[in-house]
Amino acid sequence: MKDRIEDNRTREQRDVWKIVAATIAFAVFSMFLNLGETWIELMRSHEGYQIDEVPGVLLFAALALVWYAHRRIVETRDELGRRIVAEKERGDALAANQRLAREIVRIQEDERRSLARELHDELGQYLNAIKVDAVAIRAADAGRSPDIHRAAVSIIGIADHVQATVRNTVARLRPAGLDELGLVAALEHCVDGWRERMPNVHFALSAPEDGGVWDEAVNITLYRVVQEGLTNVAKHSGATQVEIHLEPAVAEANGEESVVLTVWDDGIGAAVSGNQTGLGLVGMRERVEALGGRFEAEGTGAGFRLRAVLPVRGTSGRER
C-alpha cells in the first residue's frame, strides 16, 4: 500500500511538470501569434453580447476545477491513510488469531496427551490386573467347573478386547513416537499401521531426515492431515498406490518459510471427496488455515490429492 502511494505521488509530480511545460509552450505560442490582440479584435464587434468576458469566466472555472481536484486528492490521500491503518490492524488481528490458534492446538494436544497417559497407565493397569486374575481363576479351576472355566475365558477375551480398544484410542489421541522421536518417525509408524491394514496398497513416504523440528502445532497438524488423508483413502478411494511427500521448509515470496505436505492416491477419491463437504476435509482445512496455512483438496485426473502449506519457525534438512 505504501509503495502504491509513493507511485501515485510520483505520477502526480510528473503530471504537474507536464502541465507547467504545456502552459509555457502555449504562452510562447500565444505571444508568437498575438492571440490576445486577435481575440479582442474578433470580440469587439460583439460587445453587446459581452463575449469579451468569456476568458475571465473560463479562468474562474479553471481555478474552481483546480480547487475541486485538490479537495478530491486530499480526500483520496486521507482514505488511503485510513486503509493503511485498517490493513495494519487487520494484519495484527490475523497474527493474534494465528497465535491464539497455535495456543489452542497446544492446549488441546496437552489434554489429549494427558488423557492418553491416564488411559494407558490407569485403565491399562487395571485391565491387565483383571486379565491376570481371570487367568489365575482359569488355572485354579483346572476344568472342575465348566461354568467357572467359561466365565474366566470370557473375562480374558473381554479384557483383551478392551485393551485393544484402549490402545487404539490412545494412538488416536496422541500419535505414537511424536513426542520422543519426532514427526517423521510418527508418520512412519502411522504408515506402517496402514500397511498392515491394507496390504494390497503400496504406501510411499518421503520426508526430510530431520523433519519434525518445527513447533508442536505444525507437527501435530501435519500428522493429522496425513492421518485423515489415509482414512479417506481407506474409506473412499479404492487406491492401489499412495504417496506422501513432506518437503523441507523453503522461503516464500513474503519472506516466511513454509513446509509443504502432499498426500496423493490413484483411487477414485475425487468422485467422493471432491465436493469437500465431508467433516474430515472441512476439519483439515480449518486446522491448517487457523495456523496461517493453505489447504487444497482436488482431483488430479488420476486420483486425489491433498496439499497443505504451513508457515514454520524453523528449517528442515535433507531429503531422505
The helix (run of H) or strand (run of E) holding residue 206 is strand 202-206
Taking CA atoms, 142 is separated from 139, 147, 171, in Å, by 5, 12, 37
pLDDT at 115 over 90: no
Provide the whole-model pTM.
Answer: 0.59
Domain definitions of the chain by residue range: 2-100, 181-320
Taking CA atoms, 294 is separated from 45, 261, 268, 311, in Å, by 77, 11, 23, 9
Fold of the CATH domain 181-320:
Heat Shock Protein 90 (3.30.565)
C-alpha to C-alpha distance for 265 and 303, rounded to whole angstroms: 5
C-alpha cell at 171: 494412538
C-alpha to C-alpha distance for 48 and 51, rounded to whole angstroms: 8
pLDDT at 114 over 50: yes
pLDDT at 318 over 50: no
Q: Give the pLDDT band of residue 245 (cuts 50, 70, 90).
A: very high
pLDDT 10s digits, 13-67: 888 788 888 888 887 887 777 776 776 676 666 666 666 666 777 788 888 898 8
